Amino acid sequence: MSENLVYLVTGGCGYIGEYIVKLLTTQKYVKEVRVFDINESEEINQCNTASVPVKLIKGDITNYDQLLKAMEGVHVVIHTAALLDILDTMPFKKMKDINVGGTENVINACIANDVPYIVYTSSIAAVGPNTNSEPMIRATEETVYTGEIELSYGKTKALAERLIRQANGKKTRHGKQLVTCAIRPSTIYGEKTKNVLDSYLSAKAKHVINYIEPANIDSQYTYVGNVAWMHVQAAWHLRLKPELLGAEVYYAYDNTPMRQRYKLLYELFTEINPCIQMGSHIPYWKMWLIINIYNIIQFIVRPFWNLKPFMTLPILNIIVTSFSYETDKAFRHFGYQPLFDWAESKKRTCEWLKSMVHDVPKEHGKHKET
């Protein structure tokens, strides 16, 4: 199998994309990594090495011509670019234009430029939970889960994932066969996880971790480095086993032992600050009441002040609904094993949290603005 491959990572300045780029620069078969993103990242520029150059191309995923030009001479595309808005503050059309329309552009640009391999970053939100808050516990990729998806974001990711899987087997301009697959991460933690940093600052100030989830909740948490590594491994094996990986979807997983968010946060935070204690459970009815009162206030002040929601009822319902998977499909299909074990994942996350808290006013303020 030939080496000296050129990769294009859409959204490569983003949370998962940036980690994918870093990992690609360590692979001997990679000749060049191109990052296509509407934003710029100093860390991406620092990834540039003598052996594997990293080229940042500033562009909009909804602009087909920009994408087409960036893809010239590319062998593999890892498509992570998306608009993530779980609070529904953005118009649905805008999210659909980026998440679905942008994915259509990626597929069409690959066909036009004879780029035969696409790995797509989907989401567990593309599956559910549904509007009835029906649980899904320890599912596999073959589990059938029906009903209308709760989040608008999840609806757009489901549509885009379908496009990616349907594109498998299509012919490119010069007769190559397009091979595609999708990775479905669940809740991710690790460096640059803003909600983990916000939760730590709150816990540090109050010395307790209060939580909404019921004690019997069953969820899934995966370290960002392992999510990125699964993308890198899938992209390589698409070329080796196109008949096996083509049109398939894979849940992202590792050996993180926690099944409840508050337990994961407690495990991380007490590693840094042993004074932090497990707090009390906030009952559903109380959060429901707080959200509705907040919504009323938001409506009253709307003419004068654009008050952003801190939580919505759909998000509250998702938090209290068990939604998880248990699978080894990625291992069976392409030998995936986590690059970082639980101890290393915890260590890296805690080191990042400590580095951020060391200069809270400056760093955290910048994080909020972003």
Cβ-based neighbours of 254, under 8 Å, separated by 6 or more: 222, 223, 226, 338, 340, 341, 342, 345
Alpha helical stretches, state H, the chain: 15-24, 42-46, 64-70, 92-96, 102-112, 152-167, 194-206, 224-240, 242-245, 261-272, 284-301, 313-319, 329-334, 342-357, 360-369
Per-residue pLDDT at 2: 55
Question: Quick one: which H or E segment has residue 187?
Answer: strand 187-189
- Whether pLDDT at 365 is above 60: no
Cβ atoms of 52 and 25 within 8 Å: the answer is yes
> What separation in angstroms does the CA of 206 have from each of 51, 94, 209, 250, 273?
48, 38, 8, 39, 12
Mean pLDDT of 349-355: 95
Taking the domain 5-193+220-257+324-342, which CATH number applies?
3.40.50.720
Grade residue 219 by pLDDT with cuts at 50, 70 and 90.
very high
Q: pLDDT > 90: what percent of the chain?
A: 85
Per-residue pLDDT at 187: 94
**Which residues belong to the active site?**
153
Euclidean distance between the first and the last CA atom of the chain, given in angstroms as a whole number: 41
- Whether pLDDT at 293 is above 70: yes
- Whether pLDDT at 303 is above 90: no
- Whether pLDDT at 54 is above 50: yes
User: What predicted TM-score, i.e. pTM, was given to this entire model?
Assistant: 0.93
Mean pLDDT of 195-223: 94
Grade residue 309 by pLDDT with cuts at 50, 70 and 90.
confident
Per-residue pLDDT at 51: 83
Q: Which amino acid is at 143?
A: T
